[in-house]
Chain A
Amino acid sequence: MRLQPFELELVIEPQRWQQGRVAACRQALAAHGEPLRWAITAAEQRPEGQWLRLEAVLLV
């Protein structure tokens, strides 16, 4: 087991964002490892959807 700092920027389709914000973020992070600690550190509503920057420590 290793701890890995990780940052990710992404856009989430609005309906998916409204239906489950935690699930949407965790799913995006899970592709890279298990999120031990994470937070949205920048966000903006854009025409194409909800833009986010996530900062995390992952278990890999």
Chain B
Amino acid sequence: MVAAGSRAAGVSEPLPTLLVIPTGIGCEQGGFAGDALPVARLLAAASDCLITHPNVMNGAALYWSDPRIHYVEGWSLDAFAKGSLRLRPQRRQRIGVLFDAGIEPELLLRHRQVLAAARATLGLDIGPELVSDEPLGVRLSQASSGSSWGQLEQPGALLRAGSRLKQAGATAIAVVARFPDDNGSDALQAYRNGSGVDALAGAEAVISHLLVRELQIPCAHAPALAPLAPMAELDSRAAAEELGHTFLPCVLVGLSRAPDLRPASEPWHPQELAIDQVGAVVAPAGALGGETVLACADRGIPIVAVRSNSSLLQVDAAALDLAVVPAADYSAAAGLVLAWREGLDPRALMRPLSAC
């Protein structure tokens, strides 16, 4: 929360900060299984209010819940940055669960047991659940840049099921879609070795974007897949996806305290976060061409461009004629955010001192 007035003397007010690590473009940090979570934790400590998206936070069976971190799906993050949505922090969401009719009975049972565990072990409010009236038909593809994309053969089935969940009282929705199994392609091997692109990520984003656009409530996605054979040389950054039978726990935890999405046309509530409160956006230096970052640029919000997080793309400040504040890595980015939060000019920390 960004509530003011209750802070101890000497403790600065939060500096709401956006952390964007685009999905499906092979980022060194955040391109795997929740491997940007340490970055989010650091920036949450530096800013005291971090707004970020599921690709950063989702580590399959691993997750981290922090009231300073606001879990906001990509479509709504774009809308927030454009000023058409505000965020209202919540202590609890009632999570409806939407299963793809294409999931086989045994795999469905595994997922239902995750719901039972989330209720019993974490105390989450898991709301109505249902199976779509026909298989969603997820298809994976790759764009010419090499980034992962995908689509649905039956988007109407997704939206019908989502609407029924919302009508039944869900205030947030976790979607589990059956993704095509990969039985050892070169791309999968590369990903598990830590050098490839997450082939599922693009289609996951399309599913959650479509649902949030329609329902205007927090949504996030977990793919349902058959288990992979164990691999001895597995990259640590991909390891979180090999711990269990599903990718669902992190989604349930993330949604359980996701902020409500409030149209900007409605009266402002003091607890709500709006884009004009945001003090910085942090993004990979070569991946500045997404809607959230560009919307921040349009508003003059400082962009911290992190050089160490390389990806497939080279869409940098020079290519886009953008003004950015460069940071060598996320530790430096956190230093910048903390300096701004404290009212310091970061240039005062450097030698030689630059001219005004």
Contacts and interface: CB of A to CB of B under 8 A. Distances in A.
Interface of A: 1-5, 7, 14, 17-18, 20-23, 25, 36-45, 50, 52-53, 55, 57, 59
Bin chain B's interface residue count: 20 to 34
B319 A45 contact: yes
Given A37-B205, A55-B149, A50 B143 contact: no
A49 B18 CA distance: 29
Contact of A42 (B145, B155, B291, B321): B145
A7 B143 contact: yes
Contact of A2 (B147, B155, B206): B155
Contacts, number: 85
B297 A21 contact: yes
22 contacts: A5-B141, A5-B151, A7-B144, A14-B321, A17-B321, A22-B291, A22-B295, A25-B291, A36-B206, A36-B209, A37-B75, A37-B206, A37-B209, A40-B289, A40-B290, A42-B314, A42-B315, A43-B289, A55-B144, A57-B149, A57-B206, A59-B210
Given A25-B291, A39-B290, 18 more contacts: A1-B156, A3-B210, A5-B151, A7-B144, A22-B291, A36-B75, A36-B210, A37-B206, A39-B147, A40-B289, A40-B320, A41-B143, A41-B147, A41-B289, A43-B289, A45-B318, A50-B320, A52-B289
B82 interface: yes
A44 B319 contact: yes
A41 B206 contact: no
Nearest to B144: A7
A21 B303 CA distance: 14
A43 B149 contact: no
Nearest to A43: B319
B74 interface: yes
Nearest to B143: A55
B214 to A, nearest CB: 10
A23 B210 CA distance: 20
B347 interface: no
B30 interface: no
B147 A55 contact: yes
B213 interface: yes
Contacts of B298: 20-23
Given A3-B151, A21-B298, A41 B145 contact: yes
B54 interface: no
Contacts of A36: 75, 206, 209-210, 213
Contacts of B156: 1
Interface string B41-70: 000000000000000000000000000000
A5 B295 contact: no
B318 A41 contact: no
B82 A39 contact: no
B294 interface: yes
B294 A22 contact: yes
Q: Looking at B151, B152, B291, B318, which has the most chain A CB atoms within 10 Å of its CB?
A: B291
A39 B147 CA distance: 10
Nearest to B22: A39
Contacts of B151: 3-5, 57
B127 to A, nearest CB: 26
Contacts of B147: 39, 41, 55
Contacts of A17: 321
7 residue pairs, one from A and one from B, having the closest CB atoms: A40-B289, A41-B145, A43-B319, A3-B151, A21-B294, A55-B143, A39-B290
B278 to A, nearest CB: 15
